[in-house]
């Protein structure tokens, strides 16, 4: 293979990957334009103004809550010492393993009228004691906050540790108390990171339409689901998807605006330890209690509840939760997750390779477009993909070829492609982060020694990226297993995954039956969280080192972050 | 008069690694002390302990006569009146220069005047409206000094504060810093690994090794009469030549030398290159020479095989292999150590 041919094939790979992400987005825009005025009346019937209002209110509450909770906990665990901090500082990431639709299911059940909370409420205060309404927007927002705050928490911690330690120390020596120094120095410096974390929270909130439905909250994404799955009204769904897309773009713009201060960020990597203050006595235990309380609400109580549900239902026999439906759903989940992981890992390797071998601007742009897929809310990606598939079906029909109909009514192949588009950013950044420690001059050296790009791929990049690819594969597979919005919108009739099964059983209020599949998802989702973040105590090493051991930065740490920043 | 800083028996370890071990030191008001030592010797830890950014495991720390750290006492950094100038200046990147300097000054009518006064002191009167990233490294370091001095601390700590500057700039900033400290009357503690800086800046030099002070003395004493071989080589180039003492002086291959302390029996005397001269002809051989611009450093091999360096003006041009006779012109008794 000549070098030029190698370059051409890298262009093809990058262009294909970028198209996976960009085509659905473009299709939504084009779909709205070509549909003309027809769907707007039906969109108006769907009450889009109130949907938009609800969406904005939910976004505001979740953003506020997740930023305050994430940044607050990050500050507490970075600037203070209290009993159990070492363990708590990584355990606070665990809520990522409990998807919102499972946390929401648990709490909507626990807080429901026959649930344990209200039952004991009535037992204590009498049968007529009023209980605040549960199926409300604030409760839905609280559930989303409890599962999404780790995005802010992780990015804030890195910002506090890597940039804020010396300025914080300087502010203290200049006479500021810890909280004053935090407000006047640390917060302004960490603003770009907080904004990045908040953006991820906002995008996840926009994508969700399963969780909020438990609480009777109708957002735009819920509207998309109802209009498409209920009435098969593709044009109206497309218009709503465009609204969600515009919101996402606004959020991206907002994040850019908040990041404008990033030029101030010190370029020097700060290795000074954060002068952590020991909280003594009651205040220390209060800090421990605050962190433990968050964990209890977001992980502890949910897991215990799921376990008790799965054990109160008979496992086998009629009405058992370990039935044929569960097995089929589990098999579908595993199969889908594996296929998606394989596709994403392969494309990621080719992308990383292309970006290294070929320094042209268009390659970099293409890679960037691919990675921006994380910013496209899942319902938008799904509806856009649907439009693209419809166009392909139309072409197939026009050519007299078979298979077109299956594309529109849903196929597993289409699911794999759309999942891949959603998770390529995660796969690519994880692989790239692993390869980042490998000097680019290695690639140049191989090329200058006369190796063809293909030989560089098989002889240099593949072996060096192997660990990164394995991590990327695990992360993507787990995320695919958890994924709900896309599969709900695009699944073929009768195709259940574990996530779908949890959601359907929850919708039918058959909570006990949902226990086992939900527990299976949480258990699998714990694996990467524990693997990635348990070693996240390099901060302690730096704390303890000062000038004995010069700063130790765990290169693997980045992977965890990138895993988050999808 | 109360000391600006008093450390007594201060210790701090990280896990099992002792970073600072039983250190005591007193700094007089207005005095400048240089802490010098290799990286990892604990000097930066000592600074963080003084500033209150770390808590000591044992010992007491007083600042301006007030106990700030002790068995039952802990005064947080914001209440210590200790200024710190960090290695990378650590200016607040989101604040203008004037706001950086004003940061530690209480709000009030005099605040603006104080800022102007300090910017004047560090010779940057016109840069108040700039942002830190718009300044050069040397300017940033001056602003950091002004910021540290603004709350009128009784002592200012410098953590390798000039280490990031290139050598020409370093000298001028260092001189400006010393002048500013003298003008304000604040004491200064400089952490550095650069022996030239330590000798130039300090009224006293404290040589640190493995968490302990090896020698605390005035620069000339520390340089000429180092307490240990470690101090000797840390503060400048040094060679050790064997000799025999008879209580009055030491006989060496370079002649009979007055030595301190008075020694008998086998010893080694420390010779610095500028103290060694040589004349043509003799039994020592020029082993090597290194060109340093204004001078040559000759390495001479004495008949016993011992090596000794001699620094000579560039006009003294002797080829490698030439035979010479080495002599000592120290102008003071040389330091004698027990043989290794």
Spatial distance between the Cα atoms of B309 and A304, rounded to a whole number of angstroms: 77
Q: Any CB–CB contact under 8 A between B174 and chain A?
A: no
Q: Of chain B residues 23-82, which have a CB less than 8 A from chain A?
A: 39-45, 48, 51-55, 76-80, 82
- Is any Cβ of chain B less than 8 angstroms from the Cβ of A399? no
Task: Tell me the two tokens of residue A337.
Answer: 């997750």
Is the pLDDT score of A71 beyond 90? yes
Query: Could you tell me which residue, A453 or A334, shows the higher pLDDT?
Result: A334
Position A542 pLDDT exceeds 80 = no
Whether the CB of A541 is below 8 Å from some CB of chain B: the reply is no
Residue A233 has pLDDT above 50, yes or no: yes
How confident is the model at residue A557, as a pLDDT?
30
Mean pLDDT over B305-322 rounds to: 91
Lowest mean pLDDT among A125-139, A251-265, B67-81, B124-138: A251-265
Span B6-12, average pLDDT: 94
Closest-CA residue of chain B to A265: B93
* pLDDT over 90 percentage in chain B: 49
Question: What are the distances in angstroms from CA B190 to CA A65, B163, B185, B197, B256?
Answer: 45, 11, 15, 9, 39
The pTM for the full model equals: 0.79
Q: Architecture of domain B239-337 in CATH?
A: Beta Barrel (2.40)
Residues 6+ apart with CB under 8 A from A129: A121, A122
What's the Cα-to-Cα distance from B327 to each of A174, A298, B235, B284, B301, rounded to whole Å? 55, 81, 22, 11, 13
Which of A159, A165, A170, A190 is most worth mutating to test chain B (most B CB atoms within 10 A of its CB)? A170
Q: Per residue in A387-398, pLDDT tens?
A: 888 888 888 888
Rounded to whole angstroms, how far apart are CA atoms A554 and B240?
Answer: 44
| CATH level 2 (architecture), domain A37-264+282-312 | Orthogonal Bundle (1.10)
- Per CB-CB distance under 8 Å, the chain B contacts of A165 are none
DSSP-assigned states of every residue in B238-274: -EEEEEEEESS-EEETTEEE-EES--EEEEEEEE-GG
What pLDDT, on the 0 to 100 scale, is given for residue A407? Answer: 66
Locate B69 and state its tokens.
Answer: 């750290």
Inter-chain touch A177–B76, beta carbons under 8 Å: yes
Q: Say whether pLDDT at A35 is over 80.
A: no
The model's confidence at residue A438, banded by pLDDT at 50, 70 and 90, is: low
CB contacts, 8 Å: A261 with chain B:
94
Confidence of residue A433 (pLDDT cuts 50, 70, 90): confident
pLDDT, average across residues B7-11 = 95
Tokens 């799965």 -> residue:
A310
* Cα A401 to chain centroid, rounded: 38
The CATH class of B5-234 is alpha beta
Return residue ranges of chain A for CATH 1.10.3720.10.
1-22+315-566, 37-264+282-312
Write out pLDDT tens, residues B65-107: 899 999 888 888 888 889 999 888 888 888 899 999 998 888 8
Sheet holding B73-74, edge to edge: B17-27, B5-14, B58-63, B66-70, B73-74
Contact criterion met (CB < 8 Å) for A547 and B92: no
Write the pLDDT tens digit of every residue in B149-175.
998 898 999 988 887 778 778 888 888
Name the band, by pLDDT with cuts 50, 70 and 90, for residue A361: confident
Confidence band of A274 (pLDDT split at 50, 70, 90): low
Average predicted confidence (pLDDT) for chain B: 90
What's the pLDDT at A547? 27
CA distance A84 to A71: 19
Cβ-defined contact of B94 to A172 (cutoff 8 Å): no
What's the pLDDT at A315?
66
Give the C-alpha separation, B269 to A461, whole Å. Answer: 59
- Does the structure show a pLDDT above 90 at A505? no
Least confident of A4-8, A370-374, B251-255: A4-8
Q: Do B80 and A173 touch (CB under 8 A)?
A: yes
Q: Is the pLDDT of residue A8 over 90?
A: no
Query: Please, which residues have CB within 8 angstroms of residue A118's CB and are 6 or more apart in sequence?
Result: A111, A112, A131
**Measured distance CA(B228)–CA(B242) in Å, rounded:** 16
Q: What percent of chain A is helix, strand and coil (3-state, nearest 5)?
A: 80, 0, 20
Contact A163, A267 (CB under 8 A): no
Is residue B260 pLDDT above 80, yes or no? yes
* Interface contact A269, partner B, CB < 8 A: no
Q: Count Cβ–Cβ pairs < 8 Å, chain A vs chain B.
A: 102
B5-234 and B239-337 have identical folds: no
Q: How far is A195 from chain B (nearest CA, A)?
A: 16
* E strand segments, A311-400: none
Give me the phi and psi of A81, to 5 degrees please. -115, 135
pLDDT score at B302: 92
Give me the pLDDT at residue A273, please. 61
A22: alpha, beta or left, given left = phi > 0 and alpha = psi -120 to 50? Answer: alpha
Does B261 sit behind a cis peptide bond, omega within 30 degrees of 0 on the bond before it? yes
Q: What is the pLDDT of residue B203?
A: 93
Sheet holding B323-328, edge to edge: B307-313, B295-301, B276-291, B323-328
Question: Does the pLDDT at position A326 exceed 50?
Answer: yes
The length of chain A, given as a count of residues: 566
Among the partner-chain residues A172, A278, A548, the one whose CB lies closest to the CB of B78 is A172
Mean pLDDT of chain A, nearest integer: 80
Predicted pLDDT of residue A267: 42
Fold observed for domain A1-22+315-566: MetI-like fold (1.10.3720)
Per-residue model confidence (pLDDT) at position B250: 92
Per-residue pLDDT tens for B319-336? 999 999 999 998 889 999
Q: Tell me the average pLDDT across A286-296.
A: 94
ipTM: 0.76
The answer to whether A401 faces chain B, any CB pair under 8 Å, is: no
Q: Is the confidence at residue A77, as pLDDT, over 50?
A: yes
Query: What does the longest C-alpha to C-alpha distance in chain A come to?
Result: 84
What pLDDT, on the 0 to 100 scale, is given for residue A319?
62
Q: Which region among A35-44, A84-93, A133-142, A246-255 has the lowest average model confidence (pLDDT)?
A: A35-44
Q: For chain B, give every domain's residue range.
A: 5-234, 239-337
Kindly identify which residue of chain A lies nearest to residue B146, measuring between CA atoms: A174
A113: Cβ contacts below 8 Å, ≥ 6 apart? none
Contact flag B93-A266 (C-beta cutoff 8 Å): yes
pLDDT in tens, A106-134: 998 888 878 888 888 888 888 787 888 88
Eight-class DSSP state of A385: H
- Position B54 pLDDT exceeds 80: yes
């Amino acid at each position: 293979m000549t070098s030029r041919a190698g370059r051409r094939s890298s262009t093809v790979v990058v262009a294909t990957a970028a198209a996976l992400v960009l085509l659905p987005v473009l299709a939504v825009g084009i779909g709205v334009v070509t549909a003309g005025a027809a769907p707007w009346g039906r969109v108006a019937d769907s009450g889009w103004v109130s949907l938009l209002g609800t969406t904005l209110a939910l976004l505001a509450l979740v953003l506020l809550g997740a930023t305050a909770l994430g940044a607050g906990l990050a500050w507490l665990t970075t600037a203070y010492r209290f009993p159990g901090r070492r363990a708590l500082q990584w355990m606070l990431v665990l809520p990522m393993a409990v998807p919102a639709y499972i946390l929401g299911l648990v709490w909507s059940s626990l807080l429901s009228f026959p649930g344990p909370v209200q039952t004991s409420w009535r037992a204590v205060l009498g049968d007529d004691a009023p209980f605040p309404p549960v199926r409300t927007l604030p409760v839905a927002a609280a559930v989303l906050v409890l599962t999404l705050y780790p995005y802010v928490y992780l990015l804030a911690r890195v910002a506090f540790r890597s940039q804020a330690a010396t300025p914080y120390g300087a502010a203290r020596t200049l006479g500021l108390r810890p909280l004053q120094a935090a407000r006047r120095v640390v917060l302004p410096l960490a603003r770009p990171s907080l904004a990045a974390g908040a953006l991820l929270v906002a995008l996840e909130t926009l994508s969700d339409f399963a969780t909020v439905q438990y609480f009777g909250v109708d957002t735009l994404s819920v509207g998309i689901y109802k209009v498409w799955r209920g009435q098969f009204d593709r044009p109206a769904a497309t218009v709503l998807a465009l609204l969600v897309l515009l919101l996402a773009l606004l959020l991206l713009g907002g994040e850019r605006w908040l990041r404008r201060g990033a030029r101030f960020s010190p370029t020097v990597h700060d290795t000074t330890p954060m002068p952590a203050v020991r909280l003594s006595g009651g205040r220390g235990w209060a800090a421990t209690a605050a962190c433990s309380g968050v964990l209890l609400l977001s992980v502890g109580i949910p897991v215990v509840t799921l376990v008790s549900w799965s054990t109160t239902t008979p496992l086998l026999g009629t009405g058992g939760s370990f039935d044929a439906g569960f097995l089929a759903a589990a098999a579908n989940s595993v199969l889908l997750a594996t296929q998606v992981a394989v596709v994403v890992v392969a494309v990621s390797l080719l992308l990383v390779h292309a970006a290294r071998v070929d320094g042209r601007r268009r390659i970099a742009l293409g890679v960037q477009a691919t990675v921006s897929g994380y910013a496209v809310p899942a319902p938008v990606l799904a509806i856009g993909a649907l439009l693209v598939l419809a166009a392909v079906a139309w072409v197939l029909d026009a050519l007299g070829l078979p298979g077109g109909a299956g594309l529109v009514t849903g196929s597993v192949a289409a699911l794999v492609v759309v999942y891949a588009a959603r998770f390529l950013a995660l796969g690519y950044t994880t692989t790239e982060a692993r390869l980042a420690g490998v000097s680019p001059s290695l690639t140049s050296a191989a090329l200058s020694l006369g190796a063809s790009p293909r030989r560089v791929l098989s002889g240099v990049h593949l072996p060096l990226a192997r660990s990164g690819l394995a991590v990327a594969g695990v992360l993507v597979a787990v995320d695919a297993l958890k994924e709900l919005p896309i599969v709900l919108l695009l699944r073929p009739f009768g195709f259940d995954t574990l996530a779908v099964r949890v959601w359907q059983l929850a919708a039918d209020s058959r909570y006990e039956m949902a226990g086992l599949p939900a527990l299976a998802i949480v258990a699998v989702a714990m694996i990467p969280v524990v693997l990635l973040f348990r070693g996240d105590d390099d901060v302690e090493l730096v704390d303890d080192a000062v000038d004995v051991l010069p700063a130790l930065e765990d290169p693997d740490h980045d992977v965890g972050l990138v895993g988050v920043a999808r | 008069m109360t000391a600006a800083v008093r450390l007594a028996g201060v210790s701090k370890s990280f896990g099992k690694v002792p970073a600072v071990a039983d250190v005591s030191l007193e700094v007089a008001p207005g005095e400048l002390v240089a802490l010098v030592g290799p990286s990892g010797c604990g000097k930066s830890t000592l600074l963080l302990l003084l500033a209150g950014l770390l808590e000591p495991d044992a010992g007491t720390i007083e600042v301006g006569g007030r106990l700030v750290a002790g068995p039952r006492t802990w005064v947080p950094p914001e209440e210590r009146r200790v200024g710190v100038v960090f290695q990378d200046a650590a200016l607040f990147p989101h604040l203008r220069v004037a706001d950086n300097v004003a940061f530690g000054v209480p709000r009030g009518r005099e605040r603006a005047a104080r800022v102007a006064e300090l910017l004047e002191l560090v010779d940057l009167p016109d840069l108040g409206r700039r942002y830190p990233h718009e300044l050069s490294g040397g300017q940033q370091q001056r602003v950091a000094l002004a910021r540290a001095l603004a709350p009128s601390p009784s002592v200012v700590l410098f953590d390798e504060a000039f280490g990031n500057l290139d050598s020409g700039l370093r000298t001028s900033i260092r001189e400006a810093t010393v002048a500013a400290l003298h003008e304000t009357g604040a004491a200064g503690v400089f952490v550095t690994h650069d022996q030239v800086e330590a000798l130039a800046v300090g009224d006293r030099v404290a040589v640190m090794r493995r968490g302990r002070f090896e020698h605390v003395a005035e620069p000339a004493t520390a340089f000429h009469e180092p307490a240990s071989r470690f101090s000797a080589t840390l503060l400048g180039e040094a060679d050790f030549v064997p000799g025999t003492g008879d209580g009055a002086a030491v006989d060496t291959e370079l002649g009979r030398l007055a030595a301190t302390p008075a020694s008998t029996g086998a010893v080694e005397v420390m010779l610095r290159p500028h103290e060694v001269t040589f004349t043509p002809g003799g039994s020592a051989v020029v082993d090597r020479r290194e060109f340093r611009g204004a001078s040559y450093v000759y390495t001479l091999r004495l008949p016993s095989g011992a090596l000794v360096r001699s620094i000579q003006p560039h006009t003294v041009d002797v080829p490698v292999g030439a035979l010479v006779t080495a002599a000592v012109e120290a102008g003071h008794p040389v330091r004698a150590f027990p043989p290794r």
